[in-house]
Amino acid sequence: MTDITLHRRGPGAYATAFLGIAWRELLRFVHQRERFIAALVRPLVWLFIFAAGFRAVLGLSIIPPYQTYILYEVYVVPGLCAMIQLFNGMQSSLSMVYDRETGAMRTLLVSPFPRWFLLGSKLLAGVFVSVLQVYAFLAIAWAWGIEPPVWGFLAVLPALVLSGLMLGALGLLISSTIRQLENFAGVMNFVIFPMFFASTALYPLWRLRESSTLLHDIALFNPFTHAVELIRFALYLRFEPLAFAVVTGCTLLFFGAAVFMYDPSKGLWRKRKA
Amino acid sequence: MTHALEVAGVSHAFGRVQALRDVSFTVPQGRFVALLGPNGAGKTTLFSLITRLYDSTSGTIRVAGHDARRQPGDALARLGVVFQSRALDLDLTLRQNLLYHAALHGIPRRIALPRIDEVAALVGLEDKVGTRVSTLSGGQQRRAEIARALLHRPELLLLDEATVGLDVRARADVVALVRQLVAGGVSTLWATHVLDEILPEDEVVVLHQGAVLAQGRATDLAGAAPLADAFLRLTREAA
């Protein structure tokens, strides 16, 4: 009864598989409306409450890419965009750990397509969802009076895709190392919070140096900082080569490591029962 | 003639724990083979190796003649799997679940849609295709997973403890369905620890503590005694 023709995996079959994986991510996303709302409420709370409260406390000098004095709310918006993507990346990694516990992960991995392709498709699908969330947030921020140049909304798209890929690949890598869902709380404490707070999402680098050179150095080496700066500069129609290089490099590194970890003969899976 | 599944000299260890020791057996084309073993015998490890969740430490596994390590894509394309843990998206309909699976095998929508109706009818769920999976009963979900495993027309069907957690009626339905598929020519490896799912004329591979203790027809293994007694005797001798 075997249908041999289907075993030839040409470009069309790859496209079918990718669209199928993306379509499932989107369907799941649509079905989990709470997830969308939660992803949106989090940065809005930061914007409406935290940033508004700190407006008076934190004075900002003119730093690139801004050409004038800006309000603190304006400063934090790119960081909050990156935060959405950070949470999204960790969320999809959480769902992969969950999938592995339920067996849905195995369904994906018994597909005849190469693993790098399956993981890459899942990653790209997750990035698509995170970009949608960021645009919803930017629209609300616009209504709140945070108005970057109109073309910035277009220019930020490639930056969002790239930063989404980096954070998603990090989530993928983490999902390959976590064995159980319970361990995920550790990810919050050891990955999300340090990455977010020790970065330029909430305060510029020169401010950090004033209080602690160590913190400044940590933030400088934090890939999340570069994701934030890439988004910030793109939103104001500027290209930041260092951030681009770091984010691209980290994406390749994290994704390569994740593919290695999910490889049947190399990764950690072979050493333990999954 | 190539076998649907050929396992030759397969060993696997998790660190120092030896999960499988020199396991060899075959599933001939169109035949039903029961992999019988208590919990912890290594059945799930063996399934993970066949489905390439990880590679074996040594030995070879061939699915319809394709080496799982050297030609993983070709081997996996010929494999239909029902895992022990449930693996359907509960929020999605049965059709959406099956379309996703079809996509994972590179089967485009226009071919997948009529085939979904076909396999759904085969497992008796033709009127549930548009239903959310969360509203299906445990037995129906199992049958849906069998439909999914058949969607890409595999040469070998693997079922890992497919009746676990089902009530008596649902269990009987699933067993009957698989028997019917085998009669239709589907080669099947059925892992179980439940002895009454095995018929006297079935080919049985007894796995215990990671090694094959015995293999052959159930009646030949059991002799005059009931299969359960033979099984207990074998595992006691090995222990």
User: Whole-angstrom Cα distance, residue A38 to residue A108?
Assistant: 27
Query: For helices B94-104 and A11-31, what crossing angle results, to 10°?
Result: 150
Among the partner-chain residues A3, A265, A271, the one whose CB lies closest to the CB of B14 is: A271
The token pair that represents B34 in the structure block: 């029961």
At B49-87, the pLDDT tens digits run 998 888 877 899 999 999 988 888 999 999 999 988 878
- In angstroms, the CA A226 to CA A235 distance is 14
A12/B108 Cβ within 8 A:
yes
ipTM: 0.85
Short-list B206, B196, B141, B77, CA closest to A113:
B77
A14 touches chain B (CB under 8 A): yes
State which residue of chain A sits closest to B77, comparing Cα positions: A112
pLDDT for position A5:
44
For residues B33 and B205, the answer to whether their CB atoms sit within 8 Å is yes
A126/A164 Cα distance (integer angstroms): 8
Global pTM reads 0.86
The alpha carbon of residue B133 is apart from the nearest alpha carbon of chain A, in Å, by 13
Bond into B200 cis (ω within 30):
no
Total count of residues recorded for chain B: 239
Inter-chain contact A103–B83, Cβ cutoff 8 Å?
A: yes
Give the pLDDT of chain A (274 residues) as one tens digit per residue.
445 445 457 888 899 999 999 999 888 888 877 877 888 888 999 888 888 887 776 666 778 888 877 888 889 999 999 999 998 888 877 777 777 766 777 888 889 999 899 999 999 999 998 999 999 999 999 998 888 999 999 999 999 999 999 999 998 888 887 766 667 677 777 888 899 999 998 888 888 888 888 999 999 999 999 999 999 999 999 999 999 999 999 999 999 999 988 887 765 555 554 4
Distance of CA B125 to the CA centre of its chain: 20
For residue B80, what pLDDT is reported?
Answer: 92
Residue B142: partners with Cβ closer than 8 Å, 6 or more residues away: B82, B162, B163, B166, B170, B174
For testing the chain B interface, which of A4, A7, A95 should be mutated: the one with the most B CBs within 10 Å?
A7
Q: Cβ distance B38 to B75 under 8 Å? A: no
Q: Are strands B32-36 and B79-82 parallel, antiparallel or unpaired?
A: unpaired
| B132 reaches A (C-beta below 8 A) | no
Cβ within 8 Å, pair B53-A13:
no
